[in-house]
Amino acid sequence: MPRKPAPAPRFRAVLDSIPGYRPTEGVYDGAPARPLSANESPHQPLPDLVEELAVAGADLNRYPDPACSRLTQAIARRHGADPDQVLVGAGSVALLQALFQAVAEPGATVVHPWPSFELYPVLAALAGVRTVPVPLAGGHLDLPAMAAGITDATRLVLLCSPNNPTGALIRRRELEDFLDRVPPTCLVVLDEAYFEYARDEDACSGIALLDAHPHLVVTRTFSKAYGLAGLRVGCLLGAPHTVVHLHKVCLPYAVSSVAQQAALAALRLEDELLRRVDETVEERTRMCEALRAAGFDVPDSHGNFLWLPLGEGSAAFGERCGAEGIAVRSFAHEGVRVSVGSRPDNDAFLALAARGGSLPCTPR
């Protein structure tokens, strides 16, 4: 007689539809030799910053400042905003999650671009919010189609600029036109995790548009250009009305004292950190040119990563990279995203890509 399965704790059915987070390509064990899958800074923290962490370490028996007061003020000063327009979180994903939680009522929908940051649909599913994914048009966010996808039930519209994974940038004019089309009762969240890498003269941060558009929220992170991915700090800027509501859904004490101290130090050392970003931008140009010369159809990227639209060949290319110890991110049937990392890691990737003819998928 077949044995009945042992009773087990029951979980929400939606969890069965959510793939577990896949930080790397998953084709090798342990840390990848060449980490080009997570769009991290390849630079080690500045020594001055590390020294400051020891200062915060002396108080580890105490809870952190739950309001992140000093950091909130420093971020507000940095962006010419008021402190009541700023919210700090344990990485910008925590703030994105808070946004979903704050609007998730039965029947609510979120409009988001696709392909874009992989966590958007996951956060929506966890919050019980129905997604309306809007395909990119030629690698760019299709803002008219996104505006057309908004209904009475839409509570959030997500924009990502530069867009992860394609690197496309939303320009000022199209952003303003879009914001004018979205009803003031629906939040527009502009994810600017990679904004510091944008060099286009039409690049415009949503932060400059906040006063004129109270339904706009901009998220930023210390994980990329500021090199603090390991500490988990991000921030959000928006109208005080929005920030007050989001405070209520964020866990208190979520941002550690060490993370707060490090982010303050990063702002103080910003000039030096942004010079490193310039180096990454130069590397991005070098990699992009080399990949195009090797026959890859690489679109211009405004982030610290490049997009290879390999279609059905994406998974095979990702596996090939993994087999050589190079972690990249493949999006099934769509393409492969490679981070702009250290020069030796980039060179290893370019050498592999240049051997395209021997790959299971050849460049288009």
Positions that interact with ligand PLP (CB under 6 A): 39, 91-93, 117, 160, 164, 191, 193, 221, 223, 229, 234
Assign 328 to helix, strand or coil.
Answer: coil
Nearest to 117 by CA among 29, 45, 190: 190
Whole-number minimum distance, CB 39 to ligand PLP, in Å? 5
* Spatial strand order in the sheet of 130-135: 86-89, 234-237, 216-221, 187-191, 154-160, 109-114, 130-135
The enclosing H or E element of 227 equals none
Question: Can you tell me the distance from the alpha carbon of 233 to that of 49, in angstroms, rounded to the nearest whole number?
Answer: 15
**Residue closer to ligand PLP (CB basis): 221 or 257:** 221
Question: Can you tell me the distance from the alpha carbon of 160 to that of 346, in angstroms, rounded to the nearest whole number?
Answer: 25
Beta strand extents in 14-153 (DSSP E only): 34-35, 86-89, 109-114, 130-135
Whole-number minimum distance, CB 341 to ligand PLP, in Å? 14
Whole-number minimum distance, CB 107 to ligand PLP, in Å? 26
Whole-number minimum distance, CB 221 to ligand PLP, in Å? 3
Whole-number minimum distance, CB 38 to ligand PLP, in Å? 6
Question: Can you tell me the distance from the alpha carbon of 305 to that of 296, in angstroms, rounded to the nearest whole number?
Answer: 15
Nearest to 162 by CA among 152, 171, 149, 150: 171
Whole-number minimum distance, CB 343 to ligand PLP, in Å? 22
Burial of 316 (0-12, 13-18, 19+ CB in 10 A): middle
Assign 247 to helix, strand or coil.
Answer: helix
**Residue closer to ligand PLP (CB basis): 117 or 317:** 117
| Strands 305-308, 335-339: pairing kind | antiparallel
* 302's tokens: 């405004």
Whole-number minimum distance, CB 229 to ligand PLP, in Å? 6
